[in-house]
């Protein structure tokens, strides 16, 4: 069977993934995607023999997203394995099987999220001043939980594109977390106030890099220079089989007009952070010093 999804539709899907990632982070995007997958299966009206190629096309589109959402890809690969040989002439039964498997993936993802919060709490000490940059759900949930149990700490929220920053600001304000919002380009004037940096990612690669929100590499470098420990939140689903160069970080050109000057500007969706500049990896099974992690991983 030929290609089902038009290239324009596929590119729109990739953009949707990126937009959700900017607001929800990789974990939240994977969760929303699986829930949308279930709804699409339930709403789909087609002959039984057309279901498998339609599902296969969607799976391939998810795997080829720019950049790849590694937690979602791992869960979808597991789904593929479990669905092998399960498509039948009974459309209703096949849909029920798909729904059950995807719901199990959602439950797994939620369990990992709760475990990440437990690990994250171990990273917050009384009177910490923590730089936060990404929209990571694990980081947001950790900050909310730490505040609810009465740990005194402060958060420095680095404002970037407001689409990416607003959920952090809403969370900090709504939960009454002590915080200050500063432009990301002005961090150097606040750097001596902070003592930790919490960073999210969508993937850790076999060449010991992390695919992170755009601008993270510069913040990591400034923290590393000032001996401020960097805590990279990355659960086990974020460990990719692909090298960083193969993650298809999205590049786009935008036409801009400032005053009477028009120009074209090139923007990327994410950046690459070297694990050598990270101090701790925060996983669902605990907080691992970078040196210990690299020793186990063979860095």
**Total tally of structural domains belonging to the chain:** 2
192 and 96 part of one domain: no
287 and 187 part of one domain: yes
Sign of CA dihedral 11, 12, 15, 16: negative
91 and 149 part of one domain: no
94 and 137 part of one domain: no
Average pLDDT, the chain: 87
Q: Measured between alpha carbons, how far is 67 from 173 in angstroms, rounded to an integer? A: 31
Last residue in a domain, options 71, 98, 114: 114
Q: Which residues contact 277 (CB under 8 A, 6 or more apart)?
A: 220, 221, 223, 224, 230
Last residue in a domain, options 78, 94, 114: 114
79 and 156 part of one domain: no
Tell me, yes or no, whether 52 lies in a domain: yes
Q: Which domain holds residue 292?
A: 117-297
Band (215; pLDDT cuts 50, 70, 90) = confident
The CA-atom distances, in angstroms, between 261 and each of 160, 254, 265, 291 are 23, 14, 12, 49
Instruction: Say if residue 102's pLDDT is above 70.
Output: yes
Tell me, yes or no, whether 183 lies in a domain: yes
Band (18; pLDDT cuts 50, 70, 90) = low
Q: Closest Cα partner for 135 from 212, 244, 33, 211?
A: 212
Quote the pLDDT of residue 186.
92
Q: In the predicted model, what is the mean pLDDT of residues 140-156?
A: 96
123 and 28 part of one domain: no
Band (6; pLDDT cuts 50, 70, 90) = low
The structure's pTM equals 0.85
Quote the pLDDT of residue 189.
94
Residue 57 in contact with residue 4, Cβ under 8 Å? yes
155 and 110 part of one domain: no
198 and 75 part of one domain: no
Last residue in a domain, options 114, 147, 170: 114
Band (16; pLDDT cuts 50, 70, 90) = low
């Amino acid at each position: 069977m030929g290609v089902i999804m038009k290239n324009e539709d596929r590119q729109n899907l990739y953009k949707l993934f990126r937009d959700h990632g900017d607001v929800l982070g990789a974990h939240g995007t994977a969760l929303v995607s699986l829930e949308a997958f279930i709804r699409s299966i339930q709403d789909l009206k087609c002959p039984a023999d057309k279901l498998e190629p339609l599902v296969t096309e969607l799976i391939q589109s998810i795997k080829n997203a720019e950049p790849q959402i590694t937690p979602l890809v791992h869960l979808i690969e597991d789904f593929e394995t479990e669905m092998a040989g399960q498509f039948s002439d009974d459309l209703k039964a096949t849909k029920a099987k798909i729904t059950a498997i995807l719901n199990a993936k959602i439950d797994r993802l939620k369990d990992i999220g709760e475990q990440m919060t437990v690990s994250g709490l171990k990273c917050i000490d009384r009177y910490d001043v923590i730089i936060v940059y990404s929209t990571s759900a694990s980081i947001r949930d950790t900050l909310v939980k730490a505040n609810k149990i009465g740990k005194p700490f402060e958060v420095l929220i680095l404002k970037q594109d407001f689409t990416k920053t607003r959920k952090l600001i809403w969370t900090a304000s709504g939960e009454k977390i002590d915080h200050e919002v500063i432009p990301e380009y002005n961090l150097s004037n606040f750097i001596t106030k902070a003592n930790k940096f919490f960073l999210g990612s969508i993937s850790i690669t076999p060449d010991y890099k992390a695919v992170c929100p755009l601008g993270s590499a510069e913040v990591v470098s400034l923290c590393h220079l000032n001996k401020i420990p960097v805590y990279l939140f990355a659960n086990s689903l974020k460990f990719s089989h692909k090298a960083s160069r193969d993650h298809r970080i999205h590049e786009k050109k935008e036409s801009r007009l400032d005053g009477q000057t028009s120009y074209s500007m090139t923007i990327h969706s994410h950046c690459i952070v070297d694990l050598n500049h990270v101090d701790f990896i925060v996983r669902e099974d605990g907080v691992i010093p970078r040196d210990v992690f690299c020793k186990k991983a063979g860095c």
